[in-house]
């Protein structure tokens, strides 16, 4: 028994000696399901950080709302309770209103255009705004084009939006867009949406196909569209004070690992989007594509939203988005 105790103590001592002197454990949390590509990307991020830092940095990940909902994660990062979060950018727009500039309705023809915008001067400007509010941006992943589901009718004409109670994220541009479409937008946390749809409190919701599938909204929704009214980003943000306190080597490791994980996620998300759409159709949802004529009418209905946003945050960033997306 004595020999076992001595051996155990020696093993513990060896572990303690092996740990790097400046080792840091960093906790990051998210609200996306474990199987979502962004959550899987954060596992890759964790592995790459461990490898590149030689154990100097350890990442602990908490997906699927393990540490609270989206807004709670934002508040936890801002206060420094946790190091970072990967979050739909809409949940940061209440703190950094300029983020709404990349949420213009019907602004992007495809995902390549959306990434050209966020990887250029627009992204640089938004990263600076995030920094001013206490966040360090480590990069932008794809949440994807958002599409409407509902239980009332297929979306075939612009008038089919009239009166629909649609759940939206807490983003003023999103809400203003759906008011302009004639719908009745309701801001609600994602964890409440399934039961609200099930009970008829809501007529519908809007999300990228992988979120609709992973949240099982097809179980409580009948009609599916390809409205693609917004393209949404997931931003990986850290507490700036905590990030700045790291060594230059540690910062470089985190940035390199984030870049690698984000590149993987973007590629994975494009495939995931098509797979999820087909899975929703196979599960029994009625899919109705939006015609070019209807899409043109939807753009007309929402044109005033851009002018309202310019008055709110200034025209410079919005004009930059519009110029780089064309």
Q: pLDDT tens, 286-307?
A: 999 999 999 999 999 999 999 9
Q: Please, are residues 72 and 287 in contact by the beta-carbon 8 Å criterion?
A: no
Rounded CA-CA distance 323/162 in Å is 31
Q: How far is CA 252 from the centre of its chain?
A: 23
Q: What is the pLDDT confidence band of residue 4, given thresholds at 50, 70 and 90? A: very low
Tokens of 201: 């409190």
State whether residue 233 is helix, strand or coil: strand
Q: Please, are residues 39 and 30 in contact by the beta-carbon 8 Å criterion?
A: yes
Q: pLDDT tens, 247-296?
A: 999 999 999 999 999 999 999 999 999 999 999 999 999 999 999 999 99
**Within a 10 A sphere around the Cβ of 243, how many other Cβ atoms?**
21
Residue 2 forms part of a structural domain = no
Q: Report CA-CA distances (Å) from 271 to 20, 284, 290.
A: 39, 21, 21
Q: What is the pLDDT confidence band of residue 12, given thresholds at 50, 70 and 90? A: very low
CATH of the domain at 238: 3.40.190.170
Residue 19: the pLDDT is 42
Residue 106 forms part of a structural domain = yes
Beta-carbon contacts of residue 272 (< 8 Å; ≥ 6 apart) = 37, 210
Which residues face 57 on adjacent strands? 24
Residue 8 has pLDDT above 90, yes or no: no
Residue 9 forms part of a structural domain = no
Nearest to 73 by CA among 60, 58, 91: 91
Residue 22: the pLDDT is 60
Domain span at residue 261 reads: 18-324
Residue 5 forms part of a structural domain = no
The helix (H) or strand (E) run that includes residue 231 is strand 231-239
Residue 248 forms part of a structural domain = yes
Residue 23: the pLDDT is 82
Tokens of 102: 């990349």
Residue 3 has pLDDT above 60, yes or no: no
Residue 246 forms part of a structural domain = yes
Residue 185 has pLDDT above 90, yes or no: yes
Residue 131 has pLDDT above 50, yes or no: yes
- Mean pLDDT rounded to a whole number for the chain: 93
Number of domains making up the chain: 1
Residue 150 forms part of a structural domain = yes
């Amino acid at each position: 028994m004595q020999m076992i105790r001595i051996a155990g103590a020696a093993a513990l001592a060896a572990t303690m000696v092996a740990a790097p002197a400046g080792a840091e454990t960093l906790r990051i949390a998210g609200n996306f399901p474990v199987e979502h590509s962004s959550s899987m990307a954060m596992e890759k991020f964790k592995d790459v950080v461990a490898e590149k830092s030689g154990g100097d940095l350890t990442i602990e990940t908490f997906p699927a709302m393990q540490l609270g909902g989206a807004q709670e994660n934002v508040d936890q990062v801002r206060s420094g309770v946790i190091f970072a979060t990967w979050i739909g950018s809409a949940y940061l727009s209440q703190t950094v209103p300029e983020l709404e500039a990349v949420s213009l309705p019907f602004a992007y023809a495809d995902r390549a255009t959306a990434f050209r915008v966020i990887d250029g001067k627009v992204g640089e400007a938004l990263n600076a705004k995030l920094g001013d509010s206490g966040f360090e941006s480590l990069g932008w992943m794809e949440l994807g084009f958002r599409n409407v589901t509902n239980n009332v009718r297929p979306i075939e004409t612009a008038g089919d939006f009239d009166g629909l109670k649609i759940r939206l994220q807490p983003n003023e541009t999103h809400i203003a867009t759906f008011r302009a479409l004639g719908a009745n937008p309701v801001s609600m946390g994602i964890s409440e949406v399934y039961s609200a749809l099930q009970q008829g409190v809501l007529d519908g919701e809007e999300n990228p196909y992988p979120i609709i599938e992973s949240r099982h909204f097809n179980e409580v929704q009948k009609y599916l569209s390809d409205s693609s009214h917004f393209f949404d980003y997931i931003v990986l943000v850290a507490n700036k004070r905590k990030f700045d306190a790291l060594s230059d080597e540690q910062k470089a490791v985190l940035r390199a690992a984030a870049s690698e994980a984000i590149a993987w996620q973007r590629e994975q998300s494009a495939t995931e989007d098509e797979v999820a759409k087909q899975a929703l159709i196979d599960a029994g949802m009625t899919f109705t594509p939006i015609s070019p004529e209807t899409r043109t009418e939807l753009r007309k209905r929402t044109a005033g939203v851009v002018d309202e946003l310019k008055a709110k945050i200034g025209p410079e960033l919005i004009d930059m988005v519009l110029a780089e997306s064309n």
